[in-house]
Amino acid sequence: METTMTHNVSVEVTDGFHLVIDALKHNDIDTIFGLVGIPITDLARLAQAEGMRFIGFRHEQNAGNAAAIAGYMTKKPGICLTVSAPGFLNGLTALANATTNCFPMILISGSSEREIVDLQQGDYEEMDQLNVARPHCKAAFRVLKAEDIGIGIARAIRAAVSGRPGGVYLDLPAQLLAQTIEAGHAQRSLVKVIDAAPRQLPAPESVERALALLKDAKKPLILLGKGAAYAQADADIRAFVERTGIPYLPMSMAKGLLPDTHAQSASAARSFVLAEADVVVLVGARLNWLLAHGKGKTWGKPKQFVQIDIAPTEMDSNVAIAAPLVGDIGSCVGALLAGLDGAGIDKPDSEWLGAIAQRKEQNTAKMAALLDKNPVPMNFHSALRSIRDVLKEYPDINLVNEGANTLDFARSIIDQYQPRKRFDSGTWGIMGIGMGFAIGAAVTSGKPVVAVEGDSAFGFSGMELETICRYELPVTTIVFNNNGVYRGTDVNPTGGKDVAPTVFVKNARYDKMIEAFGGIGYHATTPEELARALCEAIASGKPALINAVIDETAGTESGRLTNLNPQSAAKK
């Protein structure tokens, strides 16, 4: 803030830069993930000077992913700050991914001069960013007057977290940031968002309908999605599962809402329960591709759904929903709990529970046989067994996971014990969230993070190892190094010098990368070495990377998504 003399009267003035920071702080936002340059360098400097945390990245997509996961963990929008056009576009993938996954975040981007951009006169980093952003987020706003910054940020916050959470774009032209405004006027223009995500109570008749359906169910199942984890209604969700006695399945990011070791978890009998159940209660999970759209062979016998979701249009998106329960998960589950006693719902038949228990036992025994093997080199199972055993001792650790085989196997082998501790490729199956999520989770929780990464997946954000070292974050990255995308064995059929499209440099030493920035590198070729390195890395609290050597023949193409991977039928 400075004082200027106008007609010999001194007036306190402030400017757009200060107002943006004031507006964020006014709404208890204390961290910005971003990457500096024209026109937002001073905004980042000022944020730091004014006591906010600015975490600077090497690529905007990773900053955006960090913001998105911070939003998911806290129910407050994560903030990503980027420069115009190319920086904005780099951040846009993360914004779109956040929207797809229902994570609240705000991408704030500087932009070039409106009058030049709109006449397409070729400005520095010219782009009509607002219109580019629109299809990829819940809402997109531009602020042109300093006095509107307060309301602009308030609208962005409310849009990100109310209803179905998602990404919001906020466009701040360079001229706006430099605009001056009288300080008192500026102060009065700030808006504190009250009750940003108001409770949305389900209609009583919807609750009754759902309870009536459950009462008649013979083979009920509860399916928990990441919306349930996001809602932070942990105690009620657990009470609902335990009081009804209904077996449940967690989607990958809902793992840990109840500990994976819980007696009612049906994860080890997943295919069986999906096919056999007659009434399925979806709690914050969409019937998208991850759930085979609620139909077909996966779902076997005909069934009826209760669906709890805050978005009314999610109902009947793929199949008919017999009992839609529209509202926030806390309120909906609370209402179901309140109605349980009066509804006369008994515990599920012992026949149903017995059949599940039997299936679980069989499948667990099969898995144990796979996990107990010790092939040389390691395969996914032996490496993950060793990680699973170490992480048992750290129930509150944050786990980031991406890759194809590395994702599929880790999801089923590594147990989660607490809610909102597992962050992965999510709804899109996107590669590249690794280091962004790891940094976002470490900064937000202040707790250690372990990132289990396919070697290809890691490459998308690997340069952020420098960021991890710069901020001295307790992140241990484990690279499952099998020399390529899915596996490392493909050959170029022409015999030419180029390797096959899926193949990387053989025997790369990813551990050397982190050493360049002062982090600790480990090279692990056996489950024992891997366990030792992981224990040491977590205990040190320092940035570390373990290059885990995996048999290059071990993976399958596309992991478990072979059915979605078209193959040329005309192979010669």
The binding site for ligand TPW (CB under 6 A) comprises 403-406, 429-432, 454-457, 480, 482, 485-486, 555, 559
Nearer to ligand ADP, 56 or 163 (CB): 163
Contact between 226 and ligand ADP by CB under 6 A: the answer reads yes
Q: Which does 480 bind (CB under 5 to 8 A by kind): ligand ADP, ligand TPW, none?
A: ligand TPW
> Is 160 in contact with 130 (CB distance < 8 Å)?
no
* Least distance from ligand TPW to the Cβ atom of residue 64, Å: 13
376 burial (CB, 10 Å; 0-12 / 13-18 / 19+) is exposed
The one among 126, 171, 314, 408 contacting ligand ADP by CB under 6 A: 314
**Among positions 284, 454, 462, 474, the unique one binding ligand ADP when judged by CB under 6 A:** 284
Angle between helices 16-26 and 41-49 (to 10 degrees): 50
Question: Of 209-217, 224-232, 379-387, 494-502, which segment contacts ligand ADP by CB under 6 A?
Answer: 224-232
**Phi and psi, residue 141, nearest 5°:** -130, 150
Question: Which partner, ligand ADP, ligand TPW, none, binds residue 437 by CB below 5 to 8 Å per kind?
Answer: none
457 binds, among ligand TPW, ligand ADP, none (CB under 5 to 8 A by kind): ligand TPW
Backbone angles phi, psi at 412, to 5 degrees: -90, -20
The least distance separating ligand ADP from the CB of residue 279, rounded to whole angstroms, comes to 18
Per CB under 6 A, contacts with ligand ADP among 160-219 are: 164-165
- 57 versus 103: smaller Cβ distance to ligand ADP: 103
Question: How many amino acids of this chain bind ligand ADP (CB under 6 A)?
Answer: 24
- Taking the complex as a whole, how short is the minimal distance between the CB of residue 197 and ligand ADP, in angstroms? 7
Q: Which two tokens stand for residue 467?
A: 């960021």
110 forms part of the interface with ligand ADP (CB under 6 A)? no
d(CA 540, CA 247): 39
Nearer to ligand ADP, 84 or 101 (CB): 101
Q: Which neighbouring-strand residues pair with 306? A: 281, 323
> Token match 């193409």: residue?
557
Cβ of residue 163: shortest distance to ligand ADP, in angstroms? 8
Which partner from the list ligand TPW, ligand ADP, none does 288 bind, CB cut-off 5 to 8 Å by kind? ligand ADP
User: Rounded to an integer, what distance in angstroms lies between the CA atom of residue 180 and that of residue 198?
Assistant: 35
Helix 60-74 and helix 85-101: axis angle, to 10°?
30
Q: Within its chain, how far is the Cα of 219 from the centroid?
A: 32
**Token pair listed for 511:** 């551990």
- Backbone φ and ψ for 234, nearest 5 degrees, come out as -55, -45
Interface residue with ligand ADP among 61, 62, 427, 483 (CB under 6 A) is: 427
Strand order in the sheet with 422-424: 422-424, 398-402, 449-454, 475-481, 544-549, 520-524
Partner interacting with residue 403 (select from ligand TPW, ligand ADP, none; CB below 5-8 Å by kind):
ligand TPW
Q: Put residue 163 in one of left, alpha, beta given phi > 0 → left and psi -120 to 50 → alpha.
A: left
Residue 504 near residue 547, CB atoms below 8 Å: no
Which stretch in 46-54, 105-113, 279-287, 416-424 sits in contact with ligand ADP by CB under 6 A? 279-287
Backbone angles phi and psi of 307, in degrees to 5 = -125, 125
Which SS3 state, helix, strand or coil, does residue 78 take? strand
Whether 115 and 179 have beta carbons less than 8 Å apart is answered as no
**288, amino acid identity:** N
User: Which of 334, 559 has the CB closer to ligand TPW?
Assistant: 559
Q: How far is the CB of 403 from ligand TPW (least distance, A)?
A: 3
Closest distance to ligand TPW from the beta carbon of 412 (Å):
13
Which residues sit at the interface with ligand ADP, rule CB under 6 A?
Answer: 101-102, 164-165, 225-227, 230-231, 251, 253-254, 284-286, 288, 290, 309-311, 314, 328-329, 427
